[in-house]
Structure 1
C-alpha cells in the first residue's frame, strides 16, 4: 500500500452534502473548505480537487459554489429532484465513485471527505488497486465500515478550529 511520501499525487473528493449535514447537525457550523483542502493535501501534489454539490435554489448557493472554485475545487453540480409526493433526492454517490475509479491510475492517494458508509466498497476497491485511501469526516456521523475500509481516518470533530467556520 502506498504510504505518504514527497511528490505523492493526491485527489481530494468532497461529498459536500454529507459534510454540510454533519457539520450542521452536530455543530451548527459550516465547513472551512480552504482548511479542508490544505489538510487533505498535506504538502503533497494535488492532482485534482472536486466538490460534489447540489443545486437546491437557496439564496447563497451560487456564491458558495464560486467560493469553492476560488479555493481550488472543481465543482460538480447536480440539480435536486422533487418527486410527486414532495420528497426530494440528490446524491453524488455514483458520480463520485466513478470519478475515484477513473482517477485511480493517475494518483497515489484519494482523500475522501465524507462519512457515507456507501463508500466503504469504493475504498476497498481503490486499496486493492494500490491506491492509498484517506477519509476525512466527523467520527460521530461517519459509518464504522467506512473508517475500517480506509488506510487512515481523520476525525474532523477533534479539530473543530481547523475544519469548521
Structure 2
C-alpha cells in the first residue's frame, strides 16, 4: 500500500548499472528513464533526481548521459577502474548512500531504483530518520533484504512494458 500525497518531497536515486544489467539480461532491452522518473515521483514534488552511471567508453554513452539530463536526472558519472590483473570495478554504493543521507533532511520520500541488497541498511537508517523509502526494481534480481527493508516495493517486471524501451 502506497502512502503518498501531492505535497511530499521526493528524491529519486537510480542505480543505472544495476537496472541496465537486469533489463539486458532478462529482456534484452533498456530502461525507460522518463517513465521510471514519472512513476517514481507519481504526482509528488520532485526535489532531486540523480542517475548514477559508469563511464565505460562506449560510443553511445555520451548521448545517454545527455538524455538523462533532458529527462530530468542529474547524472553522476564514475570512471570504471581497471586493475593490474585485468579485472574491472565500478559501483556507486557509497556515493548513493551518502547522497541519500545528505538529502534525508530535505525530503519526505526516497525512491531508490536498484535491486542491490547492500542498500537494505540504508533503507533501515532512513526509515528510522523519518524518511519513507520506496524501492523500484526487478523483483527477480532484487535482494529479499532490500524489499523487506523498504516501506514499499514496485516490481518493474510486473509492468515491464511501461519501464522498458
Which TM-score applies when normalising by structure 2? 0.98
Unaligned runs of 5+ in 2: none
1:84 aligned to 2:84?
yes
**Corresponding residue of 2:141:** 141
For residues 119-154 of structure 1, give each alpha carbon's deviation from its aligned partner in whole angstroms, at most 9, with x where no partner exists: 000000000000000000000000000000000000
Aligned equivalents of 2:67, 2:107: Cα separation in 1: 25
CA deviation vs aligned residue, 1:11-62 (integer Å, no higher than 9, x gap): 0000000000010111111000000000000000000000000000001000
SS for the counterpart of 1:5 is: coil
| Number of equivalenced pairs | 164
CA RMSD of aligned residues (A): 0.9
In the TM superposition, what whole-angstrom CA distance separates every residue of 1:72-100 from its partner, at most 9, and x where no partner exists? Answer: 00010000000011100000000000000
Deviation at 1:5, TM superposition (A): 1.5
Partner of 1:25: 25
2:113 equivalent in structure 1: 113
- Extract unaligned runs of 5+ from structure 1: none
Aligned to 2:52: 52
Q: Find runs of 4+ consecutive structure 1 residues off by over 4 angstroms.
A: none
